[in-house]
Structure 1
């Protein structure tokens, strides 16, 4: 009799865990599907549409049956999606670009984050905001912003800063997708140089692909390769931020300390390692990559629902100036680096 009751008890316990979160998750999934529909049929960036549609449904996150699911989706589904990003990375990608250009990409990431910290200090913004905006511009836009936000200590401005950063980098990335290929043609960059410029400066992967292949196939391939190397920097950057937060933050400023090595970073490195050794078949890798994209899209819809439009507008003109300055900084740095390397 006890043996027969055990599976029922397990199912009941599982239902008790899942059911409170189901409503909010399903709402976020529907918003993500609507955003993807708009992207497929009208060319609008899916991340931006999910964010804006999510903001329109902010009232669902204030109270009611959807609130626990929205909280869960914005936190746990996000981390799941970031972990799966690792399937896009392999050691073969690194070798294909060459040591000099890899060094340039890494330098661009590190210096842009430091620039963000310096700009935040000069403009009187908190260090969290400098790390968040600098990291999102330096690495991979909205995905990096969400991953970095997950390990930063929380304060009353955390959600507002995240939603502002995701919104800003998505808009700037879309503008860059249109403008940067024109600049590449104006300066008569070769296909390789144009690929390094586009992949090394545009924030989001989808916009890099769009911009690169609008110039030429070779430019598109180089741009995608460079961009994925920037994405590979996500794990070490998040790890370093986590270590520094644990070491230096204290008291009220520290909030709840993140773990030394977040589980989603371990997942990212695990999948990147498997992919580097060719242990993930291409069909499974493609499926996992799609699943990652959907998880991030659903989670950004939930993040949008958690944040009111009024709080975003409260961020101020200095914040807009900062993120535009960081975008221009990494663009100038990559162009200067390519020219110094003689490409």
Structure 2
């Protein structure tokens, strides 16, 4: 009887979630189609199409599935990012790129937090935008949003961050290869700069291989090292959330979010070489689909007129973070091997 009751509950739950999840999937598929044919970031298309369909998130059959996709499916996609990284990839680059990545990520986030406070925002907004800029663009923004404390403006801040970081990443993909060629960097040095500064993985790959195969390989590995920094940054965000919950009298969330634990485990298992390439590829594709569907769901939950009220300060903050990261990387590359 108990098993039958659980199966009945699971079936009812699936029927409740199906309309909204299907809507997010359709929007995600449309975003992928547009991205492949017009070259713009798929996350940006998913956001814009999702916002155009925000009437679906009103009270109705799609709302539960949209909420589920925007939160739980997002966490699944973040966990599967661990299949992109191995410890050997990080070790092969030596200590110079490791020091470059750690310094860039830590200093960019710290400066972003102080800059956000100076502009009148909460520190967690600076951590969200700084983490997206310093680590891996839209994926980091979504991961940090999932780990940071609940706030009435969090979805709006997340949406703005994803839009901003996607636009700046695309601009950097075009401009930064010209910058490194103007400076006169050799391909390995150019790859380190591109991998350390451009926000999204796809744009790093595009920029790196537009210079040379060697620059593209180095840029991709350095970028994956930045993706690996997602775990410690999520842990810091989780500690902030935990302290916030205790301070406000709410339930203290776990110190380690389950998706962060899953991310770390997948990195460890992937480093053993036990996972076949076909499984890695399928996991990466599924992760990408989860993230695209979840950002479509977040877009459906937000009204465009709300984003229009953000003003100049958040834009200035993200542009400033991007310029700071680029200048910091240029300075560090003069001293690190």
Asked whether the two chains share a fold, i.e. TM above 0.5, the reply is yes
What is the Cα deviation at residue 242 of structure 1? Answer: 1.1
Residue of structure 2 aligned with 1:247, choices 243, 250, 259: 243
Secondary structure of 1:156's aligned partner: coil
Q: Residues of 2 paired with 1:160 and 1:10: CA distance? A: 36
After the TM superposition, list the runs of 4 or more consecutive aligned residues in structure 1 that deviate by more than 6 angstroms.
Answer: none
Match of 1:301 in 2: 296
Deviations 1:93-137 (A, max 9, x none): 111111122011111000000011010111111111011001110
2:215 corresponds to 1:226 = no
TM-score under structure 2 length normalisation: 0.96
Which residue number corresponds to residue 339 of structure 1? 334
Offset of residue 258 of structure 1: 3.2
Per-residue CA distance 1:138-161 (angstroms, 9 max, x = gap): 100111011111111112111110
1:279 deviation in Å? Answer: 1.9
The one-character-per-residue Cα deviations of 1:284-304 (angstroms, maximum 9, x if unpaired) are 111101110111011111011
How many angstroms does 1:182 deviate by?
1.0
Equivalent position of 1:186 in the other structure: 182
Contact 2:85 2:267 in 1 (8 A): yes
Displacement, 1:246?
Answer: 2.0
Alignment of 1:319-330 (within 5 A): 319-330=314-325
CA contact (8 A) 2:135 2:230 kept: yes
CA distance in 2, matches of 1:43, 1:121: 36
Of 84, 89, 94, 1:98 maps to 94
For residues 202-213 of structure 1, the aligned pairs below 5 Å read: 202-213=198-209
The offset of 1:53, in angstroms, is: 0.4
C-alpha distance in structure 2 between counterparts of 1:219 and 1:83, whole Å: 28
State the number of aligned residues: 337
Q: Residue in 2 aligned with 1:196?
A: 192
For 2:254 and 2:15, the matched residues in 1 are separated by 28
Q: Which residue of 2 aligns with 1:268?
A: 263
1:247 positional shift: 3.2
- Quote the RMSD (CA, aligned, Å): 1.5
Please tell me whether residue 34 in structure 1 is matched to residue 22 in structure 2: no
Shift of 1:71: 0.3
Moved more, 69-78 or 238-247: 238-247
Q: What residue in structure 2 maps to residue 123 of structure 1? A: 119
TM value normalised by structure 1: 0.95
SS at match of 2:115: helix
What are the superposed Cα offsets for residues 221-260 of structure 1, whole Å, 9 maximum, x if unpaired? 00000000000000111012212332366545x8664321
Q: Are the equivalent residues in 2 in contact too, given 1:152–1:258 (CA < 8 A)?
A: no
Partner residue in 2 for 1:73: 69
Alignment partners' CA distance in 2, 1:225 and 1:316: 36
Query: In 2, Cα distance between the equivalents of 1:317 and 1:158?
Result: 18
Contact 2:149 2:240 in 1 (8 A): no
**Which structure 2 residues correspond to residues 55-74 of structure 1 after superposition, within 5 A?**
55-74=51-70
Q: Distance in 1 between matches of 2:3 and 2:240?
A: 45
Q: Distance in 2 between matches of 1:232 and 1:311?
A: 33
| 8 Å CA contact 1:153, 1:257 repeated in 2 | no
Give the match for residue 161 of structure 2: 165
1:288 is matched with which residue: 283, 308, 311?
A: 283
- Residue 154 of structure 1 contacts residue 256 of structure 1 at CA under 8 Å; is this kept in 2? no
Distance 1:155 1:247 in 2: 15
User: Residue 13 of structure 1: CA displacement?
Assistant: 2.1
Residue of structure 2 in register with 1:45 after alignment: 41
